[in-house]
Structure 1
Amino acid sequence: MKKIQDICLTKDNIREIPCCPGGLEVRGKKFVGELDQVLRWRKKMLEKGMRGFISYHEEIARGFIEYMPVEVAPLPIEAPGSAVLMCYHWVPRGNNEEEHLPQEKRLIELTIEDAKEKFSGIVTLGWNNPVHFPIKMLEEMGFKEVETYDYLSLMWLPFENNMKNPRMIQSKYEPKNLFSEGLLAIDQAYSTRCPYSIHNAERVKKLIEEINDERICYSIHRIDDREEAIKWSISPWNWEWLFFNGDEINLFDKKSKDLKKMILDRIDKLGD
């Protein structure tokens, strides 16, 4: 691979992040919703102390990584004096899965060295998934699991001796189940940090408007800052989720027509 150039995130270049409007991750894909929110969210995070890097390969912004002080980060984590690694991504060429993990690992190593100048440790969330924020890769870099919730683990890399382990703040929100009242509670959360999350929130909203049934009780919650991350937290934690009468629904593998059918089927069962 040709030489890669890593540049610190600034307000001037942050729009070049692959997930921002026009970036490599979203280019040529169809989205509903206002993707400019992705850029505005990052500008706010920079004002709160977010740092990171954009990686250019052949003059194309193909990767990025973001971290910030735990105390102001939009995640329900306690780790005083530490940084939290929030998001990192490398857009591979074609379907080359072997390309993105080594580059993401390189970006994490770069971030660790940068964070050591100001913080006593760095914490992040790892997934029991071989290609998405994988726990195994983080362990290879020195992180250790300190808490585990289903597929999600709180990962910790202290820079000093005798550091107290970080912890997840206990989940606060319980999705509603209104079946006994003859109603369908649809609870949803999203974040403007991610274009896919904006897209999913908008398509669920449009489906509910199309169905137009008074038995649907729809609540949507935005998780963009620390207070919202704590207030609307579930376990395992995520900043995007969907529940139908307390049952979690996986949005990522559902087409809109399938979601609509699921909603209509749930409504039909209310009268059984």
Structure 2
Amino acid sequence: MEEIIKLTAENIDTEHICCAIADQKCQGGYQAKKKWIKDQLTEGFTFKKLDVRGKVFIEYIPAENAWCPVDAPGYMLINCFWVSGQFKGKGYGKRLYEECLKDSDGKNGIIVVVSAKKQSFMSDKKFFIKQGFVVCDTAEPYFELLYKPLRDDAPLPKFKDCAKKAECDNKEGLTVYYTNGCPFTEYYVAGLETVAEQKGYKLKTVKIASKEQAQNHFVPVTNYSIFKDGSFVTQHILNETYFDKFIKN
């Protein structure tokens, strides 16, 4: 049985972090994500992966330290959870989730941000429902907060008010917010600037660089979010192919 590896300050430089392993154009973002993880380790951030050459991993962190606008004291927040391609359907996701469950012993429970219907770059709601999670809060336009209480007296988690309406401060043109929590964002945000200019759109880019910024973001997803004239459009990473699909005149 394949081993589950936990990233630490001692092994992160030599272990891969699953996403963008061989994507040369995203190597700058790959290294930025490694640094981002290093910075989060002291905050209780956990990254565990299957010892394979692929995307089979889970990230979680105490909700108080998560880069997510939630009010969930004493909860563990699943930040990213991915089992891809040939590794699906083999029980690896359940094994990784059980690692999170084990590490959440003594906490009020576990939370995860999903969408009402399947959305790209978001965890699959169906998996968590099977594990006993239920919806405890919602935010526009389709975000849901799932929770699994681990104590009878666990308080109900919720999204912060700032993330409920899916509206940002900049009401003119396009605004993209991103973090280094995803290794693909640096490359594709740079590319988006070129595409937006070609399409005749004014684009403002905002890099979320701190926990405090992220915890006061305008939508529950902070790794990457696009707004048009102040209204949220998508968390799907855009390139020239997807631009016209999501950004409509």
Distance 1:34 1:148, change over 3 A: closer
2:228 maps to 244
Aligned residue identity for 1:239: N
Q: 1:153-232 to 2 correspondence within 5 Å? A: 153-171=144-162, 174-178=168-172, 185-207=173-195, 211=198, 216=202, 218-232=203-217
Aligned residue identity for 2:67: P
Distance 1:86 1:262, change over 3 A: closer
2:240 maps to 256
Higher mean C-alpha displacement, 129-138 vs 139-148: 129-138
Residue segments in structure 1 that go unaligned for 5+ positions in a row: 20-24, 179-184, 267-272
SS, match of residue 83 in structure 1: strand
Higher relative contact order (CA 8 A, sep 6+): 2
2:50 maps to 55
Q: Is residue 2:128 matched to residue 1:138?
A: yes
2:69 maps to 76
Structure 1 counterpart of 2:33, from 38, 63, 67: 38
Post-superposition shift, 1:188?
A: 0.9
In the aligned structure 2, how far is the partner of 1:51 from the partner of 1:257? 34
Post-superposition shift, 1:134?
A: 1.9
Q: CA RMSD in A?
A: 3.2
User: Whose Rg is larger?
Assistant: 1
Post-superposition shift, 1:250?
A: 4.4
2:138 maps to 148
Post-superposition shift, 1:91?
A: 3.4
Spell out, residue by residue over 1:116-168, the C-alpha distance to the aligned partner (whole angstroms, 9 max, x if none).
1x422111112332885222211111111101234321111111112110111
Aligned residue identity for 1:160: R
Aligned residue identity for 1:170: D
SS, match of residue 39 in structure 2: helix
In the aligned structure 1, how far is the partner of 2:97 from the partner of 2:88? 17
1:269 maps to none
Size of the aligned set, in residue pairs, is 241
Post-superposition shift, 1:33?
A: 5.3
Distance 1:121 1:27, change over 3 A: same
Distance 1:151 1:188, change over 3 A: same
8 Å Cα contact 2:168-2:227 kept in structure 1? no
Spell out, residue by residue over 1:205-240, the C-alpha distance to the aligned partner (whole angstroms, 9 max, x if none).
3345x6598x83x32222343311133323x64431
Spell out, residue by residue over 1:241-272, the C-alpha distance to the aligned partner (whole angstroms, 9 max, x if none).
22232354447475427749998x96xxxxxx
Distance 1:242 1:107, change over 3 A: same
Q: Using the aligned pairs only, state the percent identity.
A: 22
Aligned residue identity for 1:144: V
Post-superposition shift, 1:194?
A: 0.6
In the aligned structure 1, how far is the partner of 2:98 from the partner of 2:222? 24
Distance 1:211 1:16, change over 3 A: same
Give the structure-1-normalised TM-score. Answer: 0.74
Higher mean C-alpha displacement, 154-163 vs 240-249: 240-249
8 Å Cα contact 1:54-1:61 kept in structure 2? no
SS, match of residue 184 in structure 2: helix
In the aligned structure 2, how far is the partner of 1:220 from the partner of 1:120? 36
Distance 1:259 1:158, change over 3 A: closer
In the aligned structure 1, how far is the partner of 2:246 from the partner of 2:146? 36
Aligned residue identity for 1:223: I
